[in-house]
Amino acid sequence: MLRREFTKTCFVCLAGGPVLPLLAGCQSTFYTTGQMESNGISILKSDFTYLKKDQPVQRNYVIVRNDAMQFPIYVYRFSDEDFSAMLMKCTHQGNELQASGDHLHCSAHGSEFNNRGIVAQGPAEENLRTFKVSTEGNRIFIDLRA
């Protein structure tokens, strides 16, 4: 299995049987290391696609976790050409955020951010650090300079 293409199973899923029906969406979280470039990191549009009953289905988001970055990046897909990307670092006290569908949650004190990185619930007061995203063919480039 290539390191950049795997679906990470959360610890709750590993706990087993009785809780699995409650976590149906959990298995769809997709992690990629991306490809580091001089000004940013690139991932693939195809990272958002998986097969369900032999039919292609689009994921809403992908998480980029690369050893070169202290925090992962949450990339949300609005359409085939419209993506947002934000650092998964809480602006309250710097805790790593958890993705939950179309929003990000901080387990430290309960802040929440929407899929554009805007504060939806405090105590955080500042929006997340976001990155400019561009696309070309199957490539999605996240500009880390801003």
Binding of ligand FES by 106 (CB under 6 A): yes
Nearest residue to 74 via CA among 134, 116, 12, 118: 116
75: β partners: 62, 85
Tokens read off for 97: 């955020």
Binding of ligand FES by 123 (CB under 6 A): yes
Of 44-52, 56-64, 65-73, 106-114, the segment contacting ligand FES by CB under 6 A is 106-114
- Binding ligand FES (rule: CB under 6 A), the pick from 59, 92, 116, 129 is 92
Binding of ligand FES by 13 (CB under 6 A): no
Alpha carbon distance 102, 94 (integer Å): 20
Cα–chain center distance at 9 = 14
43: β partners: 140
Q: How far is the CB of 123 from ligand FES (least distance, A)?
A: 5
Tokens read off for 51: 């097969």
Q: How far is the CB of 115 from ligand FES (least distance, A)?
A: 17
Binding of ligand FES by 90 (CB under 6 A): yes
Residue numbers at the binding site for ligand FES (CB under 6 A): 90, 92-93, 95, 106, 108-111, 123-124
